[in-house]
Each structure stands twice: as C-alpha cells, then as structure tokens.
Amino acid sequence: MRDNLIQREHLQSEVSSCDPGWILMWYGIRRQSNAVDWSSALRKGELNVVFNLQGCGVVMGERTRLSLVSSTISMCWSHNDLMATRLPGESSHEFVVLSISPEWLEKTLGEGVESIFQALRKSLISTDSRGELAESPVGFLRAMSSSERDMAMQLADPPCEDQARVIWYAAKVSEIVALHMFRPAGQKEAEPFCVNRRRVNHERIDAVHHWLEEHLDQPLELELLAGDIGCAKHYLSRFYSQQTGKTISRKLRSLRVEKAGRLLLGGKANVTEAALIVGYNSLSHFTKAFVMEKGVKPSEYVSYMM
C-alpha cells in the first residue's frame, strides 16, 4: 500500500503546527487495475470528512457503508477501525481527508455544539450512563457542489504564501465545520449536510454544469460525465431533463454559445476562432447553434449588441 498511496508531505508538515485536534491530508492512488487499501487515511474515534475528487472507493464500518464516487463529500465516524479501499479500475484516485477529534469539536464549539446535527451530536459528543462516548457510528455522503470541489482542490494546493498557510488551513477547517455540521437556522432537525431530495438534486445539476464547463471544447461523452458525477448514463440523462426541462446536450450548446458570445463582445476572438475555442470544428454548425441560442448570426452579434 505504501507504494500506491501517495501523500503530500509538504501538506503534512504545514498542518502539523496547527491545532492538534484535527489533521488534514491529501492522498493520491496511481492509475492501476487492482484495489488499494487506504484504511490508514481514516482515524478511529474521530470524525473523518472525505472530499473525494476523483476515483471510486468504499468505506465500511459498524453499520456504516459508503460508496464513494467522483465529486462527493462524506462524513464517517466509528469507535472501531474503518475499512477503506479503492475499487479496481483504470482511473486514478484523489481525495482529501479532514479528521477531527470529538474533544476538539466540543471545546471549539462550546455551547454551539447543541446546534450541530443531532446524529453527529449524539455520536460524537454524547455519553452513555457510564460516562463513555456513545457508540453510534456516522456515515453520510452526498454530491459536492462546484464551490466545494474548488475548496477541496485548494486544500491540496493553497492559494497563499508558505508563511500564511498555517492560518489559512485553520480558517478552512473552521469554515468546513461551520458549513457542514450545523442544521439550518429555524429548522428543528435535519440530516447532516441537509440531505434532502431538493438539495441533492440541485447539487447534482450543479456538478453537471461544472463538468460541462470544464470540458466545453470537447465532444460530449455522457458515459464519462455520468461516471464522474457518480450515476448511470441513462439515469443521468433522464434525471437532468426532468429537473431542468432541457437535455444535457442542449445545455452544453447554451454554455458554448455564451462563452463564444463573450469572446466576440470582448474582441478576444473572431468568429472562426470563437467557434474552435468552444468546441465547434464546423463553422456552419457553430452558426446554426449560435442562431438557435441568440437569434442572430455570430458575425452580426457584436453590432446587434451595441
């Protein structure tokens, strides 16, 4: 496993001087076909928040089983050892793990601990009749929003100078706790991460849009998109159409034309260059798509908007 599970040593050294109540680490598993055990990345008796950026894996514990796919965020906690493995496949696996001790949470949050999600509060903070921590495991998972994915990527490569990174990491850990462990104001109780159908649907749509924007100049491959989002290809197409009233290919066309329009208005590209930048190899196809979205030819767009 040591040959396959890669850590960023600079990250380990940077966060080691932060509060000892938590540890933040980036892990990568090289592209290969066999499974890899990464259980050592998860700490027993602590809350482990996993930002799964790429690849698939499984986390198992007492009455807990999480199936991790690309662009998901999960929480898992257990008194006993957690087992985690990368599923066999051709893609690499990349994830960031934040492990937080219950003592740090209770000390940091103070009276605010009463406002975190009940399931977390009972599992991490509550004690039984003998004064020992209640042995109730936690396991939750949902899709990342595009902003959360950006934050997870920044955790691996912070956008600040070396001298400021200790402060930056401490602030990010506090931000993660504030955003993901408290129930919404005025709401009596909800599942951790506000896992309700409406929010999950919104986040999956957001993930589709983020993926399309990242692959704007490439042909649409629904199978690849579905794999990165974490669902079946046919289900994703049907789900997206039901939620938005349009197809994924129609949304891609809209995003391409919007970007092309910005390029034209900004004088950063002519019509042919704009078409190529947003993924159209045929000028006639680009013109047809542009007219369908904007109601005017791309060659007339700048004067039309003036």
- Encode pLDDT of 267-277 as tens digits: 999 999 999 99
Q: Are 133 and 228 members of one domain?
A: no
| Cα 52 to Cα 162: distance, rounded to the nearest angstrom | 25
Asked if pLDDT for residue 205 goes beyond 80, the answer is yes
Whether residue 169 is found in the same domain as residue 205: no
- Domain co-membership, 62 together with 179: yes
What pLDDT is stored for residue 195 in this prediction?
44
Same domain, 253 and 175: no
181 and 201 share one domain? no
Mean pLDDT confidence for 181-189 = 59
Instruction: Decide which of 138, 164, 194 is a domain's last residue.
Output: 194
> Is 80 exceeded by the pLDDT of residue 119?
no
Looking at the structure, tell me whether residues 175 and 37 fall in a common domain: yes
Q: What is the CATH number of the domain that holds 235?
A: 1.10.10.60
Please tell me the least confidently modeled range out of 153-157, 169-173, 245-249: 153-157
Mean pLDDT of 146-158: 81
Are the CB atoms for 280 and 286 separated by under 8 Å? yes
Query: Which residue, of 194, 215, 240, is where some domain finishes?
Result: 194
Residues 125 and 45 in one domain: yes
Give me the pLDDT at residue 4, please. 54
Q: What is the pLDDT of residue 57?
A: 80
The pLDDT value recorded for residue 10 is 41
pLDDT tens by residue, 126-136? 544 444 444 55
pLDDT of residue 13: 43
Whether 132 and 237 map to the same domain: the answer is no
Identify which has the larger pLDDT, 91 or 94.
Answer: 94
- CATH of residue 28: 2.60.120.10
Q: What are phi and psi of 81, to 5 degrees?
A: -65, 140
pTM of full prediction above 0.75: no
- When mean pLDDT is compared across 122-126, 175-179, 191-195, the lowest value belongs to 191-195
Residues 170 and 290 in one domain: no
pLDDT at 17 over 50: no
State the total domains in the chain: 2
Q: Report the distance separating Cα 109 and Cα 101, nearest Å.
A: 12
DSSP bridge partners of 28: 6, 94
* Beta carbons within 8 Å of 305's beta carbon, 6+ residues apart: 265
The predicted structure's pLDDT at residue 15: 54
pLDDT exceeding 90 applies to what percent of the chain?
19
**Based on the number of CB atoms within 10 Å of its own CB, is 238 exposed (0-12), middle (13-18) or buried (19 or more)?**
exposed
pLDDT in tens, 46-84: 888 999 888 778 888 766 777 777 788 888 887 778 888
Residue 91's Cβ-side half-sphere holds a number of Cα atoms within 13 Å equal to 15
Residues 163 and 235 in one domain: no
78 and 100: one domain?
yes
Q: CB under 8 Å to 102, separation ≥6 — which residues?
A: 45, 46, 47, 124, 125, 133
- Which of 194, 214, 233 is the last residue in one of the domains? 194
The closest of 103, 108, 98 to 124, measured between CA atoms, is 103
Domain of 188 in residue numbering reads as 5-194
Is residue 289 scored above 50 in pLDDT?
A: yes
Minimum mean pLDDT range among 11-25, 108-122, 153-167, 285-299: 11-25
**Claim to verify: residue 60 and residue 173 sit in the same structural domain:** yes
Query: Residue 138: is its pLDDT beyond 80?
Result: no
Please determine, for residue 306, whether its predicted confidence score (pLDDT) is greater than 80. Answer: no
